[in-house]
A = this chain, B = another copy of it.
Amino acid sequence: MPIPFPDDSVGLVRPRTQVFEEPLALACGRSLSGYELIYETYGELNAARSNAVLICHALSGNHHAAGYHDENDRKPGWWDSCIGPGKPIDTRKFFVVALNNLGGCNGSTGPTSVNPATGTPYGADFPVVTVEDWVNSQARLADVLGIAQWAAVIGGSLGGMQALQWTISYPERVRHCIAIASAPKLSAQNIAFNEVARQAILSDPEFHGGDFQAQGVIPKRGLMLARMVGHITYLSDDSMGEKFGRELKTDKLNYDFHSVEFQVESYLRYQGEEFSGRFDANTYLLMTKALDYFDPAQAHDGDLAKTFANAQARFCLMSFTTDWRFSPARSQEIVEALISAKKSVSYLEIDAPQGHDAFLIPIPRYLRGFAGYMNRIEV
């Protein structure tokens, strides 16, 4: 007999797919003639249609943000710690929508999908999509769902960038923007790490210029390396130290290059291998490019305050002390710009040892602060 789901879980959920037949023009100059978005919803849309919140995912996320896909499923959605009855994004109050972004590899149209124009998978030919493109595609999903205005758009990391972009692209359609562990644009170091990840994938002989699917192979080593280097940046030096220290894998040193000497090597290899078996290499490239290109202030002479001039949302920014990928200073840049633009903004810096990954972790002060803000949203 299946073990019952926890009381504060949204329980069994089932993804749905929405087909869009109207072409979508993209920032890169190309367009998609049609596309599908896979999404999940949790909670109920109220009669006034005023309680909908949108969850935007980060680099390797997807539409399965909370709950379980079948009765024997023991692994809930990626943000289950924050979505559910009594959790910060309380499904007794909110109607929650989570989707897989365009270019993804979990059900929305992306590189692994068949290009209707050719009858074969897009592969390397899938157009580069940006945060703006995603927000446009999400707005169409909102139209279909009858959501004229989100009570809140919420995301961490790259998801936070989408939440911010919503307030710029569709100012009248967002009442609250919650951007967690995010940044107004990547630093040179952020881009550099992405570039290493991309080069690892591009240089894998199994990548075949992005058309590996047609060859029946996957660039497993490249994806593994990309994930390994990414993973280092998601954890703090301290949290890695606490988790692994210099613990040896076996009692004695092997003095060779193939043995795993330290626990941290074993952990990274496992993370990399597991990821390379489930994620699409072209999607990984697309997601890192979306990160690199995000720079909403560019159209406003680099002035972030001007960028948010027309935003109507209230903002909540959160950051974590040991996050060195998108440090608190990056969130503070946004906070300062919003203050200059005379917007309503709350900011919470959470003392947490877990680095960038902290936004996925149920840290009590984080959950309390997050819930405190969400509870004050009127629906």
Give residues in A with beta carbon < 8 Å to B: 27-29, 124, 127-128, 185-189, 191-193, 195-196, 198-200, 202-203, 205, 210, 221, 224-225, 228-229, 232, 235, 237, 240-241, 243-246, 253, 255-258, 261-262, 264-265, 268-269, 272, 285, 289, 292-293, 295, 324
Q: Which residues of B contact A124 (CB under 8 A)?
A: 257
Q: Does B221 contact A257, Cβ atoms closer than 8 Å?
A: no
On whether the beta carbons of B188 and A244 are closer than 8 Å, the reply is: yes
For residue A282, give the distance in angstroms from its CB to the closest CB of chain B. 9
8 Å CB contact of A221 from B203, B265, B285, B324: B203
Distance in angstroms from A302 CB to nearest chain B CB is 10
State how many angstroms separate the Cβ of A177 from the closest Cβ of chain B: 23
Interfacial chain B residues near A185, Cβ < 8 Å: 246
Contact yes or no, B257 A198, CB < 8 A? yes
Q: Do B232 and A202 touch (CB < 8 A)?
A: no
* Bound-state Cα–Cα, A196 to B29, Å: 36
**Is B293 touching A253 in the complex (CB atoms < 8 A)?**
yes
CB of A188, distance to nearest CB on chain B (Å): 4
Alpha-carbon distance A198/B256, docked complex (angstroms): 11
A-B CB proximity, top 6 nearest: A28-B255, A188-B240, A128-B255, A203-B221, A189-B237, A188-B264
A265–B245 Cα distance when bound, in Å, is 32
Name A205's contact: one of B128, B205, B240, B264 (CB within 8 Å): B205
